[in-house]
């Protein structure tokens, strides 16, 4: 039994482990604590483990007899023949403070116990077991929510951005604090579009706090879940379990825990890759329309200063180019704002009675009028009478425009596109069909995922952030409907 208890310490997850009998006396002392033995019946972690069944209990932080800050995890185990004991694992808060996090070095990370506000971990590696500094910056109820982002001021009056997230199934909260200027520095470099990108920066800050919270939560959950999963066999053994009692099953739980950590790290890398891809695409797409916009304006300025006037036809062509680039910027910013609203739960509808037939005709006329080369390419099949319902007219306009623009964008020049609107069983069905590049079958299930592009769509890149279809799906589902795409394969067209 002594060897098995020490094996838990040897895995590196705990700084000390010991075993107590039902009366609190030490059965197996810890070598890390100089094999100190005694009666721990008056300790809260022993009493909670005895009365808490098979659950794992996480203690409040405390100082050991050696003056070291510690927390312990305790649980009741069965030794056989009706005998029960309490298994205790201790974790040094000093060692926890040395673990790296995903946060930038310029950010301040705190971990504290909500029961009494005691600091468990701090970026500055000091002040453990004191009151958490963030509690002096915000009112007591500001951190009551499971997660969120708040503004605060430090002692010098500087504005701070405070992101917090509660560690699931514990009494702990992770707080990431940064000066507002540092938090929004990447966004301010985007110049005139700082107002539009600020919403995205807030979403990125929230995601950052979630990633940091998930990283800390994984470390803490593995300690607790390793105890809680005593009856769950591990899929891959990394530490050999000897015997067939609860301690051996606990060792198997650690093997399973290691595999879960590997999977979680893979998901984090994929999430970071998606974020970097989005920032790269956003920078490129915002810069693309600015170049012709600036060139056209400079041409108009030079001609105005030289006194040489433009013909009405050239003026109209220049203004049309400017309008197209401004419209493109407006759509890009609108898509980013919509995604921000989706992630924060603020994507709402303003429904009112409206005629869908009239809206479809209006969308078709607007698309054809903006680009003369599109005249006659889009056909419309609608009922003769109106189709009236309670919908959000602005969002349905956005839906139809996105689907028709996508069909034209990914179709060869001169290829027709058909939009059909009809009533079926008390509901309205809208089809947008093209004869364009089509979609591979393996890409159809992920087509409405944000930032996703089918393989052949990437080869025929036509701009955009890859957000349009994700927004379309949200609009349809918020109206109680569903959207899907069908295609027989590349080169055979698509129907939404």
The gap between the terminal CA atoms of the chain, to the nearest Å, is 65
What local confidence, expressed as pLDDT, does residue 270 receive?
Answer: 66
- Residue 195: count of CB within 10 angstroms of its CB: 9
What local confidence, expressed as pLDDT, does residue 378 receive?
Answer: 87
- For residue 24 the two structure tokens come to 């609190």
Distance CA 468, CA 449 (A): 10
- Which uninterrupted H or E stretch holds 72? strand 69-80
Distance CA 192, CA 200 (A): 15
Distance CA 478, CA 370 (A): 29
The alpha-carbon radius of gyration of the chain (Å, integer) is: 31
- For residue 164 the two structure tokens come to 């917090």
Ramachandran assignment for 233, one of left (phi > 0), alpha (psi -120 to 50 degrees), beta (any other)? beta
Distance CA 491, CA 496 (A): 16
Total-model pTM: 0.41
- Residue with the bigger pLDDT between 127 and 174: it is 174
Most confident of 127-136, 206-215, 340-349, 434-443: 434-443
Number of H helices, E strands in the chain: 12, 17
Residue with tokens 């425009």: 401
Q: Which tens digit of pLDDT belongs to each residue from 19-68? A: 888 888 888 887 777 667 788 888 888 888 888 777 888 888 888 777 78
Distance CA 50, CA 31 (A): 24
Residue with tokens 């036809």: 313
What local confidence, expressed as pLDDT, does residue 482 receive?
Answer: 93
Q: Which tens digit of pLDDT belongs to each residue from 444-453? A: 888 888 777 7
- The mean pLDDT of 124-140, rounded to a whole number, is 77
Q: Which residues pair with 248 in a beta bridge?
A: none
- For residue 252 the two structure tokens come to 């198997």
Evaluate whether 360 touches 418 at the Cβ level (below 8 Å): no
- Residue with the bigger pLDDT between 464 and 456: it is 456
CA dihedral of 64, 68, 69, 71, whole degrees rounded to 10: -50
Of 128, 154, 41, 131, nearest in space to 88 by CA: 41
Phi and psi, residue 76, nearest 5°: -85, 135
Distance CA 8, CA 374 (A): 71
Of 449, 442, 438, nearest in space to 495 by CA: 438
What local confidence, expressed as pLDDT, does residue 294 receive?
Answer: 72
Evaluate whether 41 touches 23 at the Cβ level (below 8 Å): yes
What is the DSSP-derived secondary structure letter of residue 374? G
Residue with tokens 């915000």: 138
Distance CA 336, CA 350 (A): 20
């Amino acid at each position: 039994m002594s060897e098995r208890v020490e094996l838990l310490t040897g895995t590196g997850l705990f700084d000390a482990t010991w075993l107590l009998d039902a009366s609190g006396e030490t059965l197996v002392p810890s070598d890390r604590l100089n094999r100190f033995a005694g009666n721990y019946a008056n300790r809260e972690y022993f009493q909670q483990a005895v009365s808490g069944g098979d659950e794992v209990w996480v203690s409040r932080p405390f100082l050991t007899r050696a003056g070291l800050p510690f927390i312990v995890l305790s649980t009741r185990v069965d030794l056989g023949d009706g005998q029960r004991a309490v298994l205790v694992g201790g974790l040094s808060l000093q060692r926890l403070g040395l673990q790296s996090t995903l946060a930038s070095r310029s950010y301040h990370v705190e971990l504290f116990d909500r029961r009494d506000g005691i600091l468990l971990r701090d970026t500055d590696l000091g002040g453990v077991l004191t009151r958490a500094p963030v509690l002096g910056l915000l009112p007591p109820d500001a951190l009551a929510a499971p997660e969120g982002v708040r503004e605060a001021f430090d002692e010098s009056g500087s504005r701070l951005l405070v992101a917090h997230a509660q560690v699931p199934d514990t009494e702990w909260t992770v707080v990431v604090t940064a000066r507002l200027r540092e938090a929004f520095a990447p966004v301010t470099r985007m110049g005139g579009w700082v107002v539009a990108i600020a919403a995205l920066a807030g979403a990125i800050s929230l995601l950052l706090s979630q990633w940091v919270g998930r990283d800390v939560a994984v470390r803490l959950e593995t300690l607790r879940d390793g105890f809680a999963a005593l009856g769950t066999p591990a899929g891959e053994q990394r530490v050999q379990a000897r015997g067939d009692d609860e301690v051996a099953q606990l060792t198997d739980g650690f093997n399973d825990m290691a595999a879960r950590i590997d999977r979680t790290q893979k998901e984090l890398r994929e999430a970071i890759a998606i974020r970097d891809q989005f920032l790269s695409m956003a920078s490129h797409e915002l810069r693309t329309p600015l170049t012709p916009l600036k060139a056209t304006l400079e041409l108009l300025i030079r001609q105005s200063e030289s006194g040489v006037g433009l013909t009405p036809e050239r003026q109209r062509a220049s203004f049309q180019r400017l309008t197209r680039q401004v419209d493109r910027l407006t759509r890009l910013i609108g898509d980013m704002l919509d995604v921000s609203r989706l992630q924060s739960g603020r994507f709402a509808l303003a429904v009112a009675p409206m005629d869908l037939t009239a809206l479809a005709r209006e969308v078709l006329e607007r698309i054809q009028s903006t680009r003369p080369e599109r005249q006659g390419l889009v056909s419309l099949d609608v009922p003769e009478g109106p189709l009236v319902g309670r919908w959000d007219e602005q969002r349905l306009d956005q839906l139809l425009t996105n689907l028709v623009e996508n069909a034209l964008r990914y179709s060869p020049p001169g290829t027709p596109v058909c939009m059909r609107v009809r009533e079926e069983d008390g509901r309205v069905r809208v089809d947008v069909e093209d004869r364009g590049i089509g979609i591979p079958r393996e890409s159809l299930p992920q087509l409405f995922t944000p930032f996703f592009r089918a393989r052949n769509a990437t080869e025929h890149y036509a701009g955009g952030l890859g957000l349009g279809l994700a927004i379309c799906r949200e609009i349809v589902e918020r109206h109680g409907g569903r959207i899907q795409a069908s295609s027989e394969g590349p080169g055979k067209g698509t129907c939404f």
